[in-house]
Amino acid sequence: MSKIAVVILNWNGEELLEQFLPSVQNFSKGAAIYVADNASTDNSIAFIKKNYPAIKIIENASNGGYAKGYNDALQHVEADIFCLLNSDVEVTENWLTPILNHFDEHPEVAIIQPKILDYKRKEYFEYAGAAGGFIDQLGYPFCRGRIFQALEKDKGQYDDVKEIFWATGACLFIKSAVFKELKGFDEDYFAHQEEVDLCWRAHNHGYKIFYVGTSKIYHLGGSTLSNMNPKKTFLNFRNSLYSITKNLPRKKAFPIIFFRLLLDGVAGIRFILQGKFSHCFAILKAHLSFYVNFSKIFKKREKTKYMPNYYTVKSIVWSHFVYHNRKFKNLVKH
Protein backbone atom coordinates (compact mmCIF):
# COMPACT_ATOMS: atom_id res chain seq x y z
CA MET A 1 0.00 0.00 0.00
CA SER A 2 1.19 3.50 -0.82
CA LYS A 3 2.95 5.58 1.80
CA ILE A 4 0.74 8.50 2.82
CA ALA A 5 1.28 11.77 4.65
CA VAL A 6 -1.62 13.74 6.11
CA VAL A 7 -0.68 17.42 6.05
CA ILE A 8 -2.81 19.94 7.95
CA LEU A 9 -2.32 23.62 7.15
CA ASN A 10 -2.69 25.82 10.23
CA TRP A 11 -2.86 29.53 10.89
CA ASN A 12 -3.73 30.64 14.41
CA GLY A 13 -5.91 27.59 14.80
CA GLU A 14 -5.02 26.30 18.24
CA GLU A 15 -8.68 25.77 19.17
CA LEU A 16 -9.36 23.89 15.95
CA LEU A 17 -6.31 21.69 16.46
CA GLU A 18 -7.43 20.92 19.98
CA GLN A 19 -10.86 19.93 18.71
CA PHE A 20 -10.01 18.01 15.55
CA LEU A 21 -6.51 16.55 15.88
CA PRO A 22 -7.65 13.66 18.12
CA SER A 23 -9.69 12.03 15.34
CA VAL A 24 -6.87 12.45 12.83
CA GLN A 25 -4.35 10.84 15.18
CA ASN A 26 -6.70 8.05 16.27
CA PHE A 27 -7.97 7.05 12.83
CA SER A 28 -4.94 7.58 10.57
CA LYS A 29 -2.95 4.47 11.36
CA GLY A 30 0.06 4.05 9.09
CA ALA A 31 0.06 7.66 7.94
CA ALA A 32 2.65 10.27 8.83
CA ILE A 33 0.88 13.33 10.22
CA TYR A 34 2.21 16.86 9.71
CA VAL A 35 1.00 20.27 10.74
CA ALA A 36 2.23 22.97 8.37
CA ASP A 37 2.06 26.26 10.25
CA ASN A 38 1.63 29.50 8.31
CA ALA A 39 3.53 31.77 10.72
CA SER A 40 0.90 31.62 13.47
CA THR A 41 1.04 34.14 16.28
CA ASP A 42 -1.00 32.08 18.75
CA ASN A 43 0.14 29.01 20.75
CA SER A 44 -0.51 26.47 17.99
CA ILE A 45 3.03 25.15 17.77
CA ALA A 46 3.51 24.96 21.53
CA PHE A 47 0.19 23.12 21.83
CA ILE A 48 1.21 20.49 19.28
CA LYS A 49 4.65 19.96 20.80
CA LYS A 50 3.15 19.48 24.24
CA ASN A 51 0.18 17.28 23.38
CA TYR A 52 1.12 15.57 20.10
CA PRO A 53 4.88 14.96 20.09
CA ALA A 54 4.55 12.35 17.31
CA ILE A 55 3.11 14.90 14.89
CA LYS A 56 5.73 16.56 12.71
CA ILE A 57 5.69 20.35 12.48
CA ILE A 58 6.66 22.39 9.44
CA GLU A 59 7.06 26.11 10.12
CA ASN A 60 6.46 28.26 7.04
CA ALA A 61 8.17 31.63 7.06
CA SER A 62 5.01 33.60 6.26
CA ASN A 63 1.26 33.29 5.85
CA GLY A 64 1.04 32.84 2.11
CA GLY A 65 -2.50 31.49 2.20
CA TYR A 66 -3.58 28.01 1.22
CA ALA A 67 -1.68 27.82 -2.07
CA LYS A 68 1.76 29.03 -1.00
CA GLY A 69 1.37 27.44 2.42
CA TYR A 70 1.07 23.98 0.94
CA ASN A 71 3.62 24.61 -1.81
CA ASP A 72 6.20 25.55 0.81
CA ALA A 73 5.31 22.81 3.27
CA LEU A 74 5.14 19.87 0.89
CA GLN A 75 8.75 20.42 -0.14
CA HIS A 76 9.59 18.96 3.28
CA VAL A 77 7.30 15.92 3.09
CA GLU A 78 8.25 12.56 1.60
CA ALA A 79 5.36 10.25 0.72
CA ASP A 80 3.71 8.61 -2.27
CA ILE A 81 0.38 10.28 -1.48
CA PHE A 82 -0.25 13.68 0.07
CA CYS A 83 -3.52 14.21 1.93
CA LEU A 84 -4.16 17.94 2.23
CA LEU A 85 -6.56 18.23 5.16
CA ASN A 86 -8.20 21.33 6.61
CA SER A 87 -7.66 21.90 10.31
CA ASP A 88 -11.43 21.92 10.94
CA VAL A 89 -12.10 18.35 9.81
CA GLU A 90 -13.16 15.34 11.87
CA VAL A 91 -12.17 12.10 10.17
CA THR A 92 -13.78 8.69 10.69
CA GLU A 93 -12.48 5.22 11.38
CA ASN A 94 -10.84 3.58 8.34
CA TRP A 95 -11.26 6.73 6.27
CA LEU A 96 -7.91 6.22 4.55
CA THR A 97 -8.35 2.60 3.47
CA PRO A 98 -10.81 3.06 0.56
CA ILE A 99 -8.79 5.98 -0.76
CA LEU A 100 -5.48 4.15 -0.76
CA ASN A 101 -7.04 1.02 -2.23
CA HIS A 102 -8.44 3.03 -5.13
CA PHE A 103 -5.06 4.62 -5.82
CA ASP A 104 -3.36 1.22 -5.78
CA GLU A 105 -5.96 -0.40 -8.05
CA HIS A 106 -6.21 2.48 -10.53
CA PRO A 107 -2.78 3.91 -11.44
CA GLU A 108 -4.32 6.46 -13.84
CA VAL A 109 -6.03 8.21 -10.91
CA ALA A 110 -4.05 11.17 -9.56
CA ILE A 111 -6.47 12.93 -7.19
CA ILE A 112 -9.26 11.70 -4.90
CA GLN A 113 -11.68 13.26 -2.45
CA PRO A 114 -13.92 11.51 0.11
CA LYS A 115 -17.53 12.27 1.03
CA ILE A 116 -17.68 15.65 2.81
CA LEU A 117 -20.44 16.00 5.41
CA ASP A 118 -21.35 18.94 7.63
CA TYR A 119 -19.84 18.73 11.11
CA LYS A 120 -22.72 20.70 12.63
CA ARG A 121 -25.48 18.86 10.75
CA LYS A 122 -23.96 15.46 10.15
CA GLU A 123 -26.84 14.16 8.06
CA TYR A 124 -26.22 16.86 5.43
CA PHE A 125 -23.47 17.42 2.87
CA GLU A 126 -21.06 20.26 3.49
CA TYR A 127 -20.56 23.29 1.26
CA ALA A 128 -16.88 22.70 0.45
CA GLY A 129 -16.79 19.74 -1.90
CA ALA A 130 -19.84 17.68 -0.84
CA ALA A 131 -19.87 14.59 -3.08
CA GLY A 132 -17.42 15.72 -5.74
CA GLY A 133 -16.95 18.74 -7.96
CA PHE A 134 -18.06 19.40 -11.52
CA ILE A 135 -18.02 22.41 -13.84
CA ASP A 136 -20.52 23.80 -16.33
CA GLN A 137 -19.89 25.15 -19.80
CA LEU A 138 -19.26 28.65 -18.49
CA GLY A 139 -16.63 27.51 -16.02
CA TYR A 140 -18.79 27.69 -12.89
CA PRO A 141 -17.84 24.99 -10.37
CA PHE A 142 -20.53 23.13 -8.45
CA CYS A 143 -20.89 19.89 -6.50
CA ARG A 144 -23.06 16.86 -6.17
CA GLY A 145 -24.93 17.39 -2.93
CA ARG A 146 -24.50 21.17 -2.99
CA ILE A 147 -25.86 23.60 -5.56
CA PHE A 148 -24.86 27.12 -4.48
CA GLN A 149 -26.26 27.39 -0.91
CA ALA A 150 -28.67 24.44 -1.26
CA LEU A 151 -27.32 21.42 0.64
CA GLU A 152 -28.75 17.92 0.19
CA LYS A 153 -29.41 15.49 3.01
CA ASP A 154 -27.18 12.43 2.90
CA LYS A 155 -29.43 9.45 2.20
CA GLY A 156 -26.73 7.25 0.72
CA GLN A 157 -27.38 8.61 -2.78
CA TYR A 158 -23.68 9.35 -3.25
CA ASP A 159 -22.13 6.30 -1.58
CA ASP A 160 -20.47 5.54 -4.89
CA VAL A 161 -17.11 5.78 -6.60
CA LYS A 162 -17.28 8.26 -9.45
CA GLU A 163 -15.01 10.22 -11.74
CA ILE A 164 -15.33 13.95 -11.06
CA PHE A 165 -13.89 17.15 -12.48
CA TRP A 166 -12.42 18.65 -9.31
CA ALA A 167 -11.78 17.62 -5.72
CA THR A 168 -12.15 19.93 -2.75
CA GLY A 169 -9.12 21.42 -1.03
CA ALA A 170 -10.78 20.70 2.32
CA CYS A 171 -9.60 17.11 1.92
CA LEU A 172 -7.62 16.45 -1.22
CA PHE A 173 -5.54 13.33 -1.83
CA ILE A 174 -2.95 13.69 -4.58
CA LYS A 175 0.00 11.62 -5.73
CA SER A 176 3.15 13.47 -4.75
CA ALA A 177 4.72 12.90 -8.18
CA VAL A 178 1.72 14.54 -9.85
CA PHE A 179 1.76 17.48 -7.43
CA LYS A 180 5.40 18.07 -8.32
CA GLU A 181 4.76 17.61 -12.05
CA LEU A 182 2.05 20.28 -11.88
CA LYS A 183 4.38 22.51 -9.82
CA GLY A 184 1.84 22.65 -7.05
CA PHE A 185 -0.84 25.26 -6.57
CA ASP A 186 -0.88 28.58 -8.38
CA GLU A 187 0.11 31.02 -5.62
CA ASP A 188 -1.57 33.95 -7.37
CA TYR A 189 -4.88 32.49 -6.19
CA PHE A 190 -3.87 32.88 -2.51
CA ALA A 191 -6.97 30.92 -1.43
CA HIS A 192 -10.24 29.56 -2.89
CA GLN A 193 -10.60 27.65 -6.16
CA GLU A 194 -6.89 26.94 -6.38
CA GLU A 195 -7.88 23.27 -6.17
CA VAL A 196 -10.18 23.68 -9.20
CA ASP A 197 -7.23 25.05 -11.16
CA LEU A 198 -4.94 22.27 -9.92
CA CYS A 199 -7.46 19.61 -10.95
CA TRP A 200 -8.03 21.27 -14.33
CA ARG A 201 -4.28 21.20 -14.97
CA ALA A 202 -4.19 17.55 -13.90
CA HIS A 203 -6.81 16.82 -16.57
CA ASN A 204 -4.66 18.75 -19.06
CA HIS A 205 -1.85 16.30 -18.26
CA GLY A 206 -4.07 13.28 -18.81
CA TYR A 207 -4.81 12.30 -15.21
CA LYS A 208 -8.13 11.27 -13.68
CA ILE A 209 -9.84 12.55 -10.55
CA PHE A 210 -12.26 10.49 -8.47
CA TYR A 211 -14.72 10.74 -5.61
CA VAL A 212 -14.72 7.78 -3.23
CA GLY A 213 -17.93 7.88 -1.23
CA THR A 214 -17.00 4.93 0.97
CA SER A 215 -14.66 7.27 2.86
CA LYS A 216 -16.28 10.10 4.79
CA ILE A 217 -15.23 13.08 6.87
CA TYR A 218 -17.03 15.91 8.66
CA HIS A 219 -16.05 19.49 7.83
CA LEU A 220 -16.83 22.41 10.11
CA GLY A 221 -16.37 24.98 7.33
CA GLY A 222 -16.14 28.76 7.52
CA SER A 223 -13.24 28.67 9.99
CA THR A 224 -11.15 30.87 7.69
CA LEU A 225 -13.80 32.73 5.70
CA SER A 226 -17.54 32.12 5.81
CA ASN A 227 -19.40 31.33 2.60
CA MET A 228 -20.84 34.86 2.51
CA ASN A 229 -17.75 36.83 3.44
CA PRO A 230 -17.00 39.63 0.90
CA LYS A 231 -13.35 38.61 0.75
CA LYS A 232 -14.40 35.10 -0.24
CA THR A 233 -16.71 36.60 -2.86
CA PHE A 234 -13.75 38.54 -4.25
CA LEU A 235 -11.48 35.49 -4.35
CA ASN A 236 -14.10 33.17 -5.86
CA PHE A 237 -15.11 35.57 -8.66
CA ARG A 238 -11.53 36.53 -9.53
CA ASN A 239 -10.01 33.07 -9.27
CA SER A 240 -12.72 31.49 -11.40
CA LEU A 241 -11.79 33.93 -14.18
CA TYR A 242 -8.14 33.01 -13.66
CA SER A 243 -8.91 29.31 -14.19
CA ILE A 244 -10.84 29.90 -17.41
CA THR A 245 -8.05 32.10 -18.76
CA LYS A 246 -5.40 29.53 -17.96
CA ASN A 247 -7.06 26.28 -18.86
CA LEU A 248 -9.56 26.61 -21.71
CA PRO A 249 -8.51 26.65 -25.38
CA ARG A 250 -8.25 30.23 -26.61
CA LYS A 251 -11.26 30.00 -28.96
CA LYS A 252 -13.40 28.91 -26.03
CA ALA A 253 -11.83 31.03 -23.31
CA PHE A 254 -12.42 34.55 -24.62
CA PRO A 255 -16.16 34.23 -25.42
CA ILE A 256 -16.74 32.55 -22.06
CA ILE A 257 -14.77 35.22 -20.19
CA PHE A 258 -16.85 37.94 -21.87
CA PHE A 259 -20.12 36.20 -20.98
CA ARG A 260 -18.91 35.55 -17.43
CA LEU A 261 -18.13 39.22 -16.93
CA LEU A 262 -21.69 40.06 -17.95
CA LEU A 263 -23.12 37.46 -15.56
CA ASP A 264 -20.89 38.77 -12.78
CA GLY A 265 -22.50 42.16 -13.39
CA VAL A 266 -25.92 40.56 -12.95
CA ALA A 267 -24.70 38.98 -9.73
CA GLY A 268 -23.54 42.41 -8.56
CA ILE A 269 -26.97 43.91 -9.23
CA ARG A 270 -28.55 41.03 -7.32
CA PHE A 271 -26.31 41.75 -4.34
CA ILE A 272 -27.37 45.42 -4.46
CA LEU A 273 -31.06 44.45 -4.47
CA GLN A 274 -30.36 42.25 -1.43
CA GLY A 275 -28.63 45.12 0.33
CA LYS A 276 -25.27 43.32 0.22
CA PHE A 277 -23.28 46.26 -1.09
CA SER A 278 -19.94 44.95 0.15
CA HIS A 279 -20.34 41.87 -2.04
CA CYS A 280 -21.10 44.00 -5.11
CA PHE A 281 -17.95 45.96 -4.39
CA ALA A 282 -16.05 42.66 -4.02
CA ILE A 283 -17.08 41.68 -7.56
CA LEU A 284 -15.92 45.04 -8.94
CA LYS A 285 -12.63 44.58 -7.09
CA ALA A 286 -12.33 41.02 -8.47
CA HIS A 287 -12.75 42.29 -12.03
CA LEU A 288 -10.18 45.03 -11.51
CA SER A 289 -7.69 42.52 -10.12
CA PHE A 290 -8.37 40.22 -13.08
CA TYR A 291 -7.71 43.02 -15.59
CA VAL A 292 -4.52 44.09 -13.81
CA ASN A 293 -3.18 40.53 -13.69
CA PHE A 294 -4.53 39.27 -17.02
CA SER A 295 -1.21 39.32 -18.87
CA LYS A 296 0.54 37.47 -16.04
CA ILE A 297 -2.18 34.81 -15.85
CA PHE A 298 -2.41 34.43 -19.63
CA LYS A 299 1.30 33.60 -19.82
CA LYS A 300 0.68 30.57 -17.58
CA ARG A 301 -1.41 28.83 -20.24
CA GLU A 302 -0.15 25.40 -21.25
CA LYS A 303 -0.07 23.95 -24.74
CA THR A 304 -2.17 20.89 -23.91
CA LYS A 305 -5.77 21.84 -23.29
CA TYR A 306 -8.47 19.65 -21.84
CA MET A 307 -12.08 20.34 -22.75
CA PRO A 308 -14.13 19.37 -19.72
CA ASN A 309 -16.80 16.74 -20.08
CA TYR A 310 -19.49 19.15 -18.95
CA TYR A 311 -21.67 17.14 -16.65
CA THR A 312 -25.47 17.37 -16.80
CA VAL A 313 -25.82 21.12 -17.20
CA LYS A 314 -24.75 23.86 -19.60
CA SER A 315 -25.31 26.61 -17.04
CA ILE A 316 -25.61 25.87 -13.34
CA VAL A 317 -26.62 29.50 -12.76
CA TRP A 318 -29.54 29.23 -15.19
CA SER A 319 -30.60 25.83 -13.93
CA HIS A 320 -30.57 26.90 -10.29
CA PHE A 321 -31.88 30.45 -10.36
CA VAL A 322 -34.31 30.20 -13.29
CA TYR A 323 -35.48 26.58 -13.05
CA HIS A 324 -34.99 26.44 -9.25
CA ASN A 325 -33.10 23.15 -9.34
CA ARG A 326 -31.53 22.56 -5.94
CA LYS A 327 -30.56 18.91 -6.24
CA PHE A 328 -27.96 17.39 -8.48
CA LYS A 329 -30.32 14.73 -9.84
CA ASN A 330 -32.68 17.43 -11.11
CA LEU A 331 -30.12 19.24 -13.22
CA VAL A 332 -30.87 19.09 -16.91
CA LYS A 333 -29.25 20.54 -20.00
CA HIS A 334 -30.69 23.99 -20.63
**Mind listing the pLDDT tens digit for each residue in 294-309?**
999 999 987 655 655 5
How confident is the model over 195-240, as pLDDT tens digits?
999 999 999 899 999 999 999 999 998 655 556 789 999 999 999 9
The CA R_g of the chain, rounded to the nearest whole Å, is 19
d(CA 180, CA 129): 23
φ/ψ region of 206 (left if φ > 0, alpha if ψ in -120 to 50, else beta) reads left
Amino acid 137: pLDDT: 86
Amino acid 250: pLDDT: 83
Averaged pLDDT for residues 257-279: 93
For residues 281 and 148, the model is more confident at 281
The CATH number of domain 4-219 is 3.40.50.10490:
no
pLDDT band (50, 70, 90) for residue 56: very high
Helix-then-strand count for the chain, H and E? 10, 13
pLDDT band (50, 70, 90) for residue 334: very low
Averaged pLDDT for residues 17-32: 97
Q: For the chain, where do the domains classified as CATH 3.90.550.10 start and end? A: 4-219
How confident is the model over 123-135, as pLDDT tens digits?
999 999 999 999 9
d(CA 44, CA 90): 18
Phi first, then psi, for residue 255 (nearest 5°) are -60, -40
d(CA 105, CA 308): 24
d(CA 90, CA 219): 6
Percent of the chain whose pLDDT exceeds 70: 94
Ranking 70-79, 154-163, 324-333 by mean pLDDT, the lowest is 324-333
> Does the pLDDT at position 69 exceed 60?
yes
Amino acid 307: pLDDT: 59
> Does the pLDDT at position 68 exceed 60?
yes
How confident is the model over 165-177, as pLDDT tens digits?
999 999 999 999 9
> Does the pLDDT at position 317 exceed 70?
yes
Amino acid 7: pLDDT: 98
Please name the amino acid found at residue 10. Answer: N
Amino acid 322: pLDDT: 80
Which string of b and e fits 43-73 if b means at least 16 CB within 10 Å? Answer: ebbebbeeebeebbebebeeebbbbbbbbbb
Average pLDDT, the chain: 92
First to last CA, the chain: 44
Percent of the chain whose pLDDT exceeds 90: 80
Please name the amino acid found at residue 115. Answer: K
Quick check: 89 and 129 in contact, CB under 8 A?
no
Dihedral, CA of residue 317, residue 322, residue 328 and residue 333, to nearest 10:
-80
